[in-house]
Amino acid sequence: MNKKTTTPAGQRAVMGFDFGTKSIGVAIGQEITGTASSLGALKARDGIPDWNALEKLVNEWQPDLIIVGLPLNMDGTNQQVTFAAKKFANRVHNLTRKPVETHDERLTTTDAKARLFEQGGYRNLAKDNIDGMAAVIILESYFEQQWGDV
């Protein structure tokens, strides 16, 4: 079972993952500010990252909670990659022993591309940048849903 976190809800450090089969975006955020920052992306093969690299990131940043983006169809139904993302979330929990939740990530990649383009044009649209920014948007969306405007 999940160990209880000592940090109260609303004040936790939260790590987010934008699951993908070739690349997994990573971000770190703070509930208290409702903001997040990109940590880039981990390469993946068929949705499987370098678990040692993932564990190293978690150990370095010590999040109290981990959020994995859940890729759903626009109508909210599951698609094949939804099941792979859930499997990834379970493996992250088993590896880190941290609480892991999933969060709807529909349109985060589109939003990430738009935000990155606004910040730096086409040169900003590298795949690692997009996946990392998508993880940021997943966390910000999670914070907004949990706490409203912070």
CB 53, CB 66: distance < 8 Å: no
Domain residue spans of the chain:
13-144
CATH code: domain 13-144 is 3.30.420.140
* Reported pTM: 0.85
pLDDT in tens, 53-82: 999 999 999 999 999 999 888 888 898 889
**Residue 104's closest CA among 128, 119, 82?**
82
